[in-house]
Amino acid sequence: MAAQVIPVENFDLVIIGGTGDLAKRKILPGLYRRMCAGQMPEDARIIAAARTDISQSEYIAMVKKSLEDFVKSKKRNEKKIAEFLKRISYIKLDALGTEGWKELAGSLRKDVIHAFYFSVGPSLFAPLAERLLKYKITDDKTRIVVEKPFGRDLESAKALNEELAHSFHEDQIFRIDHYLGKETVQNLMALRFANALFEPLWNSMHIDHVQITVAESLGVEGRGAYYDKSGAIRDMVQNHLMQLLCLTAMEPPAVFDAASVRDEKLKVIKALEPIQDDDVIRGQYRADGKGTSYPDESGNPDTTTESYIAMKVILSNWRWVGTPFYLRTGKKLRNRMSEIAIIFKDPPHSIFKDSNDLKGNVLTIRLQPDEGVNLSMTIKEPGPGGMRLTEVPLDMTFAEALGDDETGIPDAYERLIMDVIRGDQTLFMRGDEVEAAWAWVDPIIKQWAENPTKPAGYDAGSNGPDDSLMLLHKDGRRWREITL
Ligand code: BG6
């Protein structure tokens, strides 16, 4: 089943922070793949800008290397790479000064979309936005893309929103949460709103609880200094897990457009109950004998930052009252596995006398690895010998369903960048949404800051701290396995 590729309008995309890690790992390889898929107009151009003092040819060599490193070999093609590199130019730019700005202004074409990807730290967002305005680089078709972290609390997020609003309208600001670009995350909306099967059951009458897991097997690697100031709550919960929760819990929007979808997500965040202290478990990984511990990796032996968090979240609205959402995320866990699991209620009565413990169905939306949807069903065990029941999975793996498509499933970033060019904000966070998420998360962080305690230890490669088991045990439930 080959995916349909609709080319976007012609564009000049400026990557500010063009020598950075995100540009090398995600943005440039993603753009290359979109070009190969036929989605980029023939003369769409990429202008990379950064502080680094390198020549055009040195930058091109760097891009070539990042394509070698981050594009699968079967998708690399010398001719296509040469074609891609021709589209790229490099400008030395000082985000806080004057150098490079006139050159940047002069290098942009009229009558094409201008998108500026701020692939830099949030402290540079406002100075960059101001300079774009000052050097008259912007027009109504201009878009800016900003990366997370969008602030570190409600106050800083508000300040950032206000600063950006001096230079841009809300419909020009694309706040990225790359989880929204993941294939399965969007499929969650298709599953819910394009099929009549699930929506009548999608409520607390039929759903016992929901588990949202984003487990990572890697540690904080080289990002210890950043991560130690953020912890799992700022790095993952306020944004990625919150978005997954919103898409799972929201009401059907009247139409699938940016305003309607984001209005519904905002209502979910506003319906979140303040979190109870004993409904949050924090953890920190210990060394597993072979590796290093979180305090080693963060370079802070006394750190009280969590590398794992599990929480029970309650939504106070008609649809969800009585159905808790359990969220967990952590680094150095058993496997890299992310999923949303909808655990339906058990059948109310068993007519099968030998099987009085019938289990509820579980609908699993798997984000990674092996993106897909799985529904566990109870059927009769095949063969003679009475009515014995067994559970089987009804499995739909998107990777397989789209397997013969030459371009495969696009990476979240490449999909989102194309949405920026199209001007489609459905999969981006609106300013009020980000603020509402911080407003919910802030009191939790404040409470930890006022009563600092060391998070519970867990072994690297495990399922997380034992205390997190209790979070569900006390409600008579258990976590799903973190398996591949
Ligand atoms: C990032 C976080 O936003 O998401 C990282 O800062 C995390 O700490 C990453 O590892 C996870 O993304 P993915 O797509 O690999 O699940």
Mean pLDDT of 408-426: 91
166 has catalytic annotation: no
- Tens of pLDDT, residue by residue over 330-353, are 999 999 999 999 999 998 888 887
The mean pLDDT of the chain is 93
Give the C-alpha separation, 381 to 285, whole Å.
42
Cα–Cα–Cα angle for 411, 417, 422, rounded to 5 degrees: 130
CA 218 to ligand 1: nearest atom = 10
**345 CA to middle of ligand 1, Å?**
32
Q: Which atom of ligand 1 is nearest to the CA of 230?
A: 6
Give the atom of ligand 1 at the shortest distance from the alpha carbon of 338. Answer: 16
User: Cα-atom radius of gyration of the chain, to the nearest Å?
Assistant: 24
Examine the domain organization and report whether 282 and 358 are in the same domain: yes
Q: What is the mean pLDDT of residues 45-49?
A: 98
Domain that holds residue 72: 11-147
> Which ligand 1 atom sits closest to the C-alpha of 220?
8
- Per-residue pLDDT of 104-154, as tens digits, reads 999 999 999 999 999 999 899 999 999 999 999 988 889 999 998 899 999
Q: Are residues 389 and 330 in the same domain?
A: yes
Which atom of ligand 1 is closest in space to residue 182's alpha carbon? 14
Alpha carbon separation from 203 to 148, 213, 367 (Å, rounded): 31, 20, 22
- 98 CA to middle of ligand 1, Å? 34
User: Do both 27 and 138 map to the same domain?
Assistant: yes
For residue 259, report the distance from its CA to the centre of ligand 1, in Å: 26
Q: What is the distance in A from the centroid of ligand 1 to the CA of 178?
A: 9
Tell me: do 27 and 131 sit in the same domain: yes
Query: Hey, whose CA ends up nearest to atom 10 of ligand 1?
Result: 216
In a domain, 94, yes or no: yes
- Res 402: pLDDT: 55
Ligand 1 mutation target, pool 152, 230, 240, most atoms within 8 A of CB: 240
Q: Which residues pair with 280 in a beta bridge?
A: 311
Q: Has residue 2 been placed in a domain?
A: no
Which of 147, 172, 204 represents a domain boundary (last residue)?
147
User: Which pLDDT does position 4 carry in this prediction?
Assistant: 75
Identified catalytic residue from 166, 209, 240, 473? 240
Q: Are residues 350 and 202 in the same domain?
A: yes
Query: Has residue 404 been placed in a domain?
Result: yes
Is residue 99 over pLDDT 60?
yes
pLDDT of residue 38: 93
Residue 1 banded pLDDT, cuts 50, 70, 90:
low
For residue 223, tell me if it sits in a domain.
yes
Distance from Cα 195 to the centre of ligand 1, integer Å: 30
Residues 6+ apart with CB under 8 A from 351: none
Question: Mean pLDDT, to the nearest integer, of 195-222?
Answer: 95
Instruction: Note the pLDDT of residue 406.
Output: 44
Q: What number is the average pLDDT over the span 254-269?
A: 97
Are residue 137 and residue 185 in the same domain, yes or no?
A: no
Does 466 reside within a domain? yes
Residues 210 and 138 in one domain: no
Do 190 and 127 fall within a single domain? no
Three-state secondary structure readout of the chain: CCCCCCCCCCEEEEEECCCCHHHHHHHHHHHHHHHHCCCCCCCCEEEEEECCCCCHHHHHHHHHHHHHHHCCHHHCCHHHHHHHHHCEEEEECCCCCCCCHHHHHHHCCCCCEEEEEECCCHHHHHHHHHHHHHCCCCCCCCEEEECCCCCCCHHHHHHHHHHHHHHCCHHHEEECCHHHHCHHHHHHHHHHHCCCCCHHHCCCCCEEEEEEEEECCCCCHHHHHHHHHHHHHHHHHHHHHHHHHHHHHCCCCCCCCHHHHHHHHHHHHHCECCCCHHHEEEEEEECCCCCCCHHHHHCCCCCCCCCEEEEEECECCCCCCCCCEEEEEECCECCCEEEEEEEECCCCCCCCCCCCCCCCCEEEEEEECCCEEEEEEEEECCCCCCCCEEEEEEEEEHHHHCCCCCCCCCCHHHHHHHHHHHCCCCCCECHHHHHHHHHHHHHHHHHHHHCCCCCEEEECCECCCCHHHHHHHCCCCCCCCCCC
Residue 17 has pLDDT above 70, yes or no: yes
Is residue 186 located within the same domain as residue 278?
yes
Tell me, yes or no, whether 174 lies in a domain. Answer: no
Report whether the peptide linkage leading into residue 369 is cis, meaning its omega lies within 30 degrees of zero.
Answer: yes
CATH of the domain at 456: 3.30.360.10
Give the pLDDT score at 398: 72
Nearest atom in ligand 1 to 148's CA: 3
Distance of alpha carbon 58 from alpha carbon 60, whole angstroms: 5
Say if residue 62 is in the same domain as residue 184.
no
Asked whether residue 1 is domain-assigned, the answer is no
pLDDT digits (tens, 9 = 90+) for 441-461: 999 999 999 998 999 999 999
* Centre of ligand 1 from the C-alpha of residue 105, in Å: 33
- Give residue 422 CA to ligand 1 midpoint distance, Å: 25
pLDDT at 397 (0 to 100): 80
Q: Atom 4 (ligand 1): residue with closest C-alpha?
A: 236
Q: Are residues 126 and 213 in the same domain?
A: no
Domain count, the chain: 2
- CATH number at 69 reads 3.40.50.720
**Do residues 65 and 209 share a domain?**
no
pLDDT band at 403 (very low <50, low <70, confident <90, very high): very low
Boundary-marking domain end, from 123, 147, 171: 147
Residue pLDDT, tens place only, 271-297: 999 999 999 999 999 987 777 899 999
pLDDT, mean of residues 389-402:
78
195: tokens are 């099929």
Around ligand 1, the residues with Cβ closer than 6 Å are 148, 178, 216, 235
Query: For ligand 1, atom 2, which residue shows the shortest CA distance?
Result: 235
Asked whether residue 139 is domain-assigned, the answer is yes
pTM for this model (two decimals): 0.94
Ligand 1 centre and the CA of 235: distance in Å? Answer: 8
